[in-house]
């Protein structure tokens, strides 16, 4: 009898709430890329389309990003503390590409990876540093090689990591054809966003600035 009781308890433990096994893990939309690659613009597009954002408003808009950064300070400490991640479930959060491997398991991630020509990224970073009076890296070729290697590693990680789906978005293409980009992104995220509002959120001034950044 005792043995039968133990077997029954084992069966109950194995079969407790079987529906739980069919519930998918929480989903988080991650907007990622190198700094100055268009991640803030994509966050603004998602917000306009109706996607809730995981932000704290601590980093205010400035001359380098007059429409806002859409960041959360806790994300910067992701390697040391991921306790904030459950709070981002059902929302979009901006995570620089260097921190993507620190995202914890137990979630489904839909990653929008922003791509921008490296010469534009480096030029934009130099311009930003110059406005702040900070020195820029002297060896642009070396920095470009490091960034190319980092992006290749990031794409390999995205392809290999379970629970991750990704969509690459070209920043110049998004500026030139925001409607097409908005529809692609909306479809990637399940089709529930307002693609027209997303496209309208792309500031025409960004197109002019992008043309001016490379002499």
Q: What is the DSSP string of 1-29?
A: -HHHHHHHHHHHHHHSSGGGGGSPPPEEE
Is residue 58's pLDDT more than 80? yes
Is residue 7's pLDDT more than 50? no
Percent above pLDDT 90 for the chain? 67
pLDDT digits (tens, 9 = 90+) for 157-198: 999 999 999 999 999 999 999 999 999 999 999 999 999 999
CA distance 67 to 63: 9
* Mean pLDDT value of segment 58-81: 93
58 sits in which H/E element: none
Q: Which residue has the higher pLDDT, 4 or 98?
A: 98
Q: Which of 12-16, 49-53, 178-182 has the lowest mean pLDDT?
A: 12-16
* Mean pLDDT value of segment 9-32: 64
pLDDT digits (tens, 9 = 90+) for 26-42: 999 999 999 999 999 99
Kindly report the average pLDDT of the chain as a whole number.
86
In the chain, the domains with their CATH numbers are 25-205 (3.40.50)
Is residue 130's pLDDT more than 90? no
What's the whole-model pTM score? 0.83
Q: Which of 42-51, 77-86, 138-147 has the lowest mean pLDDT?
A: 138-147
């Amino acid at each position: 009898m005792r043995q039968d009781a133990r077997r029954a308890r084992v069966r109950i433990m194995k079969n407790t709430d079987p529906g739980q096994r069919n519930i998918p893990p929480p989903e988080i939309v991650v907007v990622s890329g190198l700094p100055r690659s268009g991640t803030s613009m994509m966050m603004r597009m998602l917000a306009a389309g109706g996607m809730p954002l995981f932000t704290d408003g601590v980093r205010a808009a400035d001359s380098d990003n007059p429409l806002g950064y859409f960041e959360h300070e806790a994300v910067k400490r992701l390697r040391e503390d991921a306790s904030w991640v459950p709070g981002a479930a059902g929302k979009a959060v901006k995570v620089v590409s260097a921190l993507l491997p620190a995202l914890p398991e137990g979630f489904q991630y839909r990653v929008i990876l922003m791509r921008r020509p490296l010469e534009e990224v480096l030029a934009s970073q130099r311009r930003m540093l110059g406005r702040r009076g900070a020195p820029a890296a002297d060896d642009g070729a070396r920095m470009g090689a490091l960034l190319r290697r980092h992006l290749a590693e990031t794409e390999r990680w995205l392809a290999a990591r379970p629970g991750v789906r990704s969509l690459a978005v070209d920043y110049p293409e998004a500026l030139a054809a925001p409607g097409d980009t908005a529809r692609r992104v909306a479809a990637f995220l399940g089709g529930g966003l307002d693609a027209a509002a997303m496209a309208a959120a792309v500031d025409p001034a960004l197109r002019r600035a992008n043309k001016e950044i490379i002499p």
